[in-house]
Amino acid sequence: MKHFRNFINGEFVATNKTFENRAPVDNRVIGLVHEAGQAEVDAAVAAARAALHGEWGRMTVARRVELLHAVADEIVRRFDDFLEAELADTGKPRSLASHIDIPRGAANFKIFADIVKNVPTESFEMATPDGGTAISYGLRSPLGVVAVVCPWNLPLLLMTWKVGPALACGNTVIVKPSEETPATATLLGEVMAHVGIPNGVYNVLHGFGPGSAGEYLTRHPGVSGITFTGETRTGEAIMAAAAKGVRPVSFELGGKNAGIVFADADFDKAVAGITRSAFENCGQVCLGTERVYVQRPIFDRFVQALKEKAEALRIGPSDEPGVGLGPLISAEHKAKVLSYYELARSEGATVVTGGGAPAMPTELADGHWVQPTIWTGLPESARVIREEIFGPCCHIAPFDTEEEAIALANATDYGLATTVWTQDLGTAHRMARAIDVGLCWVNSWFLRDLRTAFGGSKASGIGREGGVHSLEFYTELRNVMVKL
């Protein structure tokens, strides 16, 4: 049985309160997680604060950059360890984790180390009222001790997406991984120690949200800022905690993203793209498409083609040959997704395919499997169309005009992402301008350039990270005015 301990001040710390870590593929207990209480949170904050002013705080940027490259190299060297840890925690297809999750774990350290090394700050020269000259310039200092609160859907990718830039900017971090996926954050502690990241710079606390490590950490006055990825409702609770002390937050939250397919789109590419955006990672991607709008001339053909793609997805554990769909993360999440499958029926949906749990072999029968599901025929007011489900499902509706597609896409409280399929550049640009989202993909989906701004509008988030935008959150910019 594996034990996932907290990582505080360079040491793995056990506690006398543990909870079970279960495999999504069969619900077997695969580990025990040591839950951090207030004492461990206090210790981690003290360690992170001390490290801020110790060797780490005095280190040259060049040395910090070198160390972060070493972290990335060590993740690559231990690729298989990270891969197995992620697969055990999530049950996702091996091909997915090995092509996306783990490589991004390494890239997130490299890219932000290089950005910090190469991005200048502003500088202005001006005439002063007495006829002299002054030069002002910007100096970036770390924000301080950063709490990094993470979800379970892309555990290593989403954690390092915050830890990479935070450390590159000279901060120290305390990570609270999801209670569902403790493994890769813990493993990263070994990597940090191995490459010589000073003690206290990277800390990990395990536990839940309310009444546990998540709440204790985000309420802690020694935490300078909070970066969070997860549900919008949780973001509201964390924002209330951050209000005490007026501490900054960066939030990447939920979505109810629209995919828009115009009749002039490359049909096969659009079908393949929406298949990915609706079903990849078993629909557990915040950027995923749960609302699909297809221009009327190709609507019936598109529904039929997507149905065939969904039905061709092989459901199974990570290593099953040709597997396209893994399990959901937990029994609780499966119950939530299946409750929406029921709700869709009661709201009057036509179930094009799926709508339940698949029959699985006995050894996998306790896993959290659901069928990829497509609905049509619901009114826009239906809860299934309004609420984030976070499962492998989508509703498809027809539209006639560009204006109608824009209105449909925008009729949501969320504003995270959209994917637009058309061969007309003018249409693409107009849609990108008109849809209220942080991220608009055209003829693509989840195609990432880490130098670009990433984040959501409306209830989907606060702020942008990525490229220099990460520097804006993870540093304080001081202006220095020098009268010559």
Distance, CA of 88 to CA of 181 (rounded, Å): 9
Min separation Cβ 288 and ligand NAD, Å? 8
Within 91-229, strands assigned E span: 123-127, 133-142, 145-149, 172-176, 202-204, 225-229
Distance, CA of 355 to CA of 235 (rounded, Å): 30
Pairing of strands 6-8, 461-462: unpaired
**What DSSP assignment string belongs to 329-356?**
S-HHHHHHHHHHHHHHHHTT-EEEE--S
Min separation Cβ 286 and ligand 6OD, Å? 4
Phi then psi for 354, rounded to 5 degrees?
A: 75, -140
Residue 286 engages ligand 6OD in binding (rule: CB under 6 A): yes
Q: Which of 44, 51, 191, 285 binds ligand 6OD (CB under 6 A)?
A: 285
Out of ligand NAD, ligand 6OD, none, what residue 69 binds, judged by CB under 5 to 8 A for its kind, is none
Q: Near ligand 6OD by CB under 6 A, which window of 78-86, 132-140, 282-290, 353-361?
A: 282-290
The Cβ of residue 347 has, within 10 Å, a number of other Cβ atoms equal to 18
Residue 96 engages ligand 6OD in binding (rule: CB under 6 A): no
- Sequence-distant (≥ 6) Cβ neighbours of residue 276 within 8 angstroms: 445, 446
Q: Which of 113, 154, 338, 459 binds ligand 6OD (CB under 6 A)?
A: 154
Residues within the interface to ligand NAD (CB under 6 A): 149-153, 158, 176, 178-179, 208-210, 214-215, 218, 229-231, 234, 237-238, 252-255, 286, 388, 390, 416, 456, 460-461
Nearer to ligand 6OD, 82 or 161 (CB): 161
Out of ligand NAD, ligand 6OD, none, what residue 161 binds, judged by CB under 5 to 8 A for its kind, is ligand 6OD
Out of ligand NAD, ligand 6OD, none, what residue 253 binds, judged by CB under 5 to 8 A for its kind, is ligand NAD
Phi then psi for 373, rounded to 5 degrees?
A: -135, 135
Q: Near ligand 6OD by CB under 6 A, which window of 21-29, 119-127, 152-160, 352-360?
A: 152-160
Residue 448 engages ligand 6OD in binding (rule: CB under 6 A): yes
Q: Which of 44, 70, 158, 382 binds ligand 6OD (CB under 6 A)?
A: 158
Distance, CA of 484 to CA of 479 (rounded, Å): 16
Out of ligand 6OD, ligand NAD, none, what residue 176 binds, judged by CB under 5 to 8 A for its kind, is ligand NAD
The Cβ of residue 53 has, within 10 Å, a number of other Cβ atoms equal to 10
CA 156 to chain CA centroid, Å, is 9
Out of ligand 6OD, ligand NAD, none, what residue 448 binds, judged by CB under 5 to 8 A for its kind, is ligand 6OD
Q: Which two tokens stand for residue 399?
A: 């539209």
Nearer to ligand NAD, 215 or 280 (CB): 215
Out of ligand NAD, ligand 6OD, none, what residue 238 binds, judged by CB under 5 to 8 A for its kind, is ligand NAD
Residue among 228, 231, 282, 227 nearest 255 (CA): 231
Nearer to ligand NAD, 199 or 229 (CB): 229
Nearer to ligand NAD, 151 or 317 (CB): 151
End-to-end CA distance of the chain: 67
Output b/e per residue, 76-113; b: 16+ Cβ within 10 A: eebeebbbebbbbbbbbbbebbbebbbbbbbbbbbbbb
Min separation Cβ 153 and ligand 6OD, Å? 5
Out of ligand NAD, ligand 6OD, none, what residue 214 binds, judged by CB under 5 to 8 A for its kind, is ligand NAD
Min separation Cβ 263 and ligand 6OD, Å? 29
Nearer to ligand NAD, 36 or 115 (CB): 36
- Tell me if residue 404 is catalytic: no
Distance, CA of 275 to CA of 268 (rounded, Å): 10
Please report, for residues 146, 191, 465, the alpha-carbon distance to residue 176 in angstroms, rounded to integers and kept in the order given: 11, 17, 19
Nearer to ligand 6OD, 93 or 200 (CB): 93
Handedness of CA 275, 277, 280, 283 (dihedral sign): negative
396: alpha, beta or left? (left if phi > 0; alpha if psi -120 to 50): beta
Min separation Cβ 248 and ligand NAD, Å? 16
Nearer to ligand 6OD, 355 or 438 (CB): 438
Q: Near ligand 6OD by CB under 6 A, which window of 63-71, 153-161, 206-214, 324-332?
A: 153-161
Nearer to ligand 6OD, 47 or 287 (CB): 287
HSE, CB side, 13 Å, CA atoms: give it for residue 430.
Answer: 15
Out of ligand NAD, ligand 6OD, none, what residue 74 binds, judged by CB under 5 to 8 A for its kind, is none
Residue 454 engages ligand 6OD in binding (rule: CB under 6 A): yes
Catalytic residue among 252, 290, 402, 465: 252
Out of ligand NAD, ligand 6OD, none, what residue 91 binds, judged by CB under 5 to 8 A for its kind, is none
* 3-state helix, strand and coil shares in percent for the chain, rounded to the nearest 5: 40, 25, 35
Positions marked active-site: 252
Q: By the criterion CB under 6 A, which residues form the site for ligand 6OD?
A: 153-154, 158, 161, 285-287, 448, 454
